[in-house]
């Protein structure tokens, strides 16, 4: 006898879905409204920025805030494009390096038997408990000892190690059946071939999630530019935006518009990256080809 109950994923709207919408809609609004506010806030004219009560939707959108931001950036000796280049270069280098080392380390710790593997993983788990402020001084001493002060290496190397990324990726690698790796060995595959052709394709959801975590850490990072770099031509965009908005907002009322525009510029790359990778982020190992 065929089952006549409701389908899990009906093609059309059904009344049974109403209770699901009632549960999900408040959470969607809670998460989505701040994003909408940031976007609208950047295009508000001066009178709407200081309106009371505050207006959520921009009634008369304008680009004046962005024009003021560009004008304020021209007063400095270093063009805004240079800060953009620094952030893009450092972010790409850190994301690529972090994912490369995290995936290789996860494969080694999960599937290769060697002495000290458990101890290394425990050290990584302990590192999860430390915030960046707790290791600020020893990290500076290491950077200084290696002679990386005032170089791009000071912006890149301290951020490559992401304990939560390694932990997340290893959990996915643990779910890869050993039989797949053994079959690859029997076919004559080398370790690097197994890593590239077996492991990486099966852990795409974890890689996408780790990429977002690394990107957010680097793109919004102020620490490296603050403590390891004195040369303004090497500093990141986040540091410059923070400096620009803090000085303008304390000196002029018009600085509020500049701060709103800067917030949107720093936020948009995070949103765009998540929209691109969201399918992989939402996938589970069941959807990535592992049975």
CATH number for the domain spanning 182: value is 1.10.3720.10
The tens-digit pLDDT sequence of the chain (291 residues) is 444 445 556 666 677 777 777 888 888 888 888 888 888 888 888 888 877 777 778 888 888 888 888 887 777 778 888 888 999 999 999 999 999 999 999 999 988 888 888 899 888 888 888 877 788 888 899 999 999 999 999 999 988 988 888 988 998 898 888 888 888 888 888 888 899 888 998 888 889 889 998 998 899 888 888 889 888 889 888 888 888 766 655 455 667 788 888 888 888 888 888 888 877 665 544 444 444
- The answer to whether residue 14 is domain-embedded is no
* Single pTM value for the model: 0.80
User: Per the domain annotation, does 125 fall within a domain?
Assistant: yes
**Vertex 277 angle, CA 275 and 282, to 5°:** 100
Domain count, the chain: 1
Rounded to the nearest 10 degrees, the angle between the axes of helix 64-73 and helix 255-282 is 100
- How far apart CA 160 and CA 139 sit, in angstroms, is 13
pLDDT of residue 251: 54
Query: Torsion over CA of 18, 20, 24 and 26, rounded to 10 degrees?
Result: 40
Residue at token pair 């290696």: 146
Q: Tell whether 46 is covered by a domain.
A: no
> What is the reported pLDDT for 286?
46
Which of the 8 DSSP states describes residue 198? I
115 within domain boundaries: yes
In DSSP notation, 167-216 reads HHHHHHHHTS-HHHHHHHHHTT--HHHHIIIIIHHHTHHHHHHHHHHHHH
pLDDT of residue 68: 84
Measured CA to CA, the distance from residue 152 to residue 53 in angstroms comes to 45
- Are the C-beta atoms of 241 and 179 separated by less than 8 Å? no
In a domain, 103, yes or no: yes
Burial (CB < 10 A; 0-12, 13-18, 19+), residue 131, is exposed
Is-contact 98 159, C-beta < 8 A?
yes
Query: Which residue, 95, 122, 94, 128, is CA-closest to 109?
Result: 122
Q: Which two tokens stand for residue 177?
A: 């059946």
From the list 172, 174, 176, 141, the residue with the least C-alpha distance to 158 is: 141
In a domain, 99, yes or no: yes
Q: What's the pLDDT at 289? A: 43
Structure tokens at 247: 């000085």
- For residue 216, give the H/E element and its range: helix 204-219
Residue 288's pLDDT is 43
Q: 31 in a domain, yes or no?
A: no
CA distance 287 to 203: 10
Residue 11 lies in a domain: no
Does residue 174 contact residue 110 with C-beta atoms inside 8 Å?
A: yes
CA distance 128 to 96: 21
Which tokens belong to 97?
């390096």
């Amino acid at each position: 006898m065929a089952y006549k109950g409701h389908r899990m994923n009906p093609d059309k709207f059904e009344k049974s879905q109403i209770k699901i919408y009632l549960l999900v809609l408040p959470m969607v609004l809670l998460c989505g409204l701040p994003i909408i506010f940031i976007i609208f806030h950047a295009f508000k004219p001066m009178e709407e920025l200081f309106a009371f009560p505050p207006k959520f939707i921009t009634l008369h959108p304008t680009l004046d805030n962005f024009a003021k931001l560009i004008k304020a950036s021209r007063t400095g000796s270093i063009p805004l494009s240079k800060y953009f280049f620094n952030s893009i270069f450092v972010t790409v280098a850190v994301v690529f390096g972090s994912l490369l080392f995290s995936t290789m380390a996860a494969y080694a710790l999960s599937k290769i038997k060697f002495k000290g593997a458990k101890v290394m993983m425990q050290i990584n788990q302990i590192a999860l408990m430390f915030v960046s402020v707790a290791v600020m001084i020893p990290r500076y001493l290491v950077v200084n000892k290696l002679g990386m002060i005032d170089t791009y290496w000071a912006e890149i190397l301290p951020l490559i190690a992401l304990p939560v990324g390694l932990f997340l990726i290893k959990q996915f690698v643990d779910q890869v059946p050993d039989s797949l790796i053994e079959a690859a060995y029997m076919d004559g595959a080398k370790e690097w071939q197994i890593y590239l052709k077996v492991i990486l394709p099966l852990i795409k959801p974890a890689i996408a999630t780790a990429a977002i975590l690394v990107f957010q850490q680097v793109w919004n990072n102020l620490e490296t530019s603050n403590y390891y770099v004195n040369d303004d031509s090497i500093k990141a965009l986040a540091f410059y935006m923070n400096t620009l908005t803090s000085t303008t907002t304390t000196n002029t009322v018009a600085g509020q518009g500049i701060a709103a525009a800067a917030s949107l510029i720093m936020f948009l790359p995070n949103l765009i990256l998540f929209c691109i990778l969201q399918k992989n982020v939402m996938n589970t190992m069941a959807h990535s080809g592992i049975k």
